[in-house]
Amino acid sequence: MNQKMDHAMIDDISRVTRDIELLLAANEVAKRGRDDGKHPFGALLAGPRGEILMEQENDEHEEKGTGHAEAALVRRAVKAYRPEFLWHCTLYTTVEPCVMCAGCTYWGNIGRVVYGASEAALLALTGDHEDNPTMSLPCREVFAKGQKPIEVVGPVAEVEATILDLHRDYW
């Protein structure tokens, strides 16, 4: 293996490790929200070097129906950062972005999304719960209809069970 290939592998391993760390951090945000009486979803915005820039709990009490962690975080991010910078950032979210949150991410120009658990796995837990109506439309399909090549990573097997446990205890 040549030296250039070795560095690429190390970078990939480092990135996967950091993705897992930040998904677990987003899950801590979700736990904090749950403890405050909110739905247990959490999101983080990380800069190009993996540094945490923002975090956001779900807030359905303030923004009925649209207070999802990802959408709220993107609304804050576009006020704080230029689109060119956001393109090099990553949105970390405990559960796959819904259609609304994927749209916000797209229009907010965030270039990468990493999620821990799929929306389908969440639906399997919540069923017909009136507080969590879902749309069976994966975020990859939403992004694929756009003109920007948004990178999507998820679900992440190393954290999916931990994230779903938080939801299992809630719904």
Architecture of domain 3-170: 3-Layer(aba) Sandwich (3.40)
pTM value is: 0.90
* Domain segments of the chain as ranges: 3-170
Using pLDDT thresholds of 50, 70 and 90, give the confidence band for residue 128.
confident
Pairing mode of beta strands 151-153, 90-95: unpaired
Q: Which of 6-10, 28-32, 59-63 has the lowest mean pLDDT?
A: 6-10
Query: Is 70 annotated as catalytic?
Result: yes
The burial of 106, by beta-carbon neighbours within 10 Å (0-12 exposed, 13-18 middle, 19 or more buried), is given as buried
Q: Which of 8-12, 33-37, 111-115 has the lowest mean pLDDT?
A: 8-12
Residue 40 is classified by DSSP as S
Q: Active site residue: 55, 70, 96, 160, which one?
A: 70
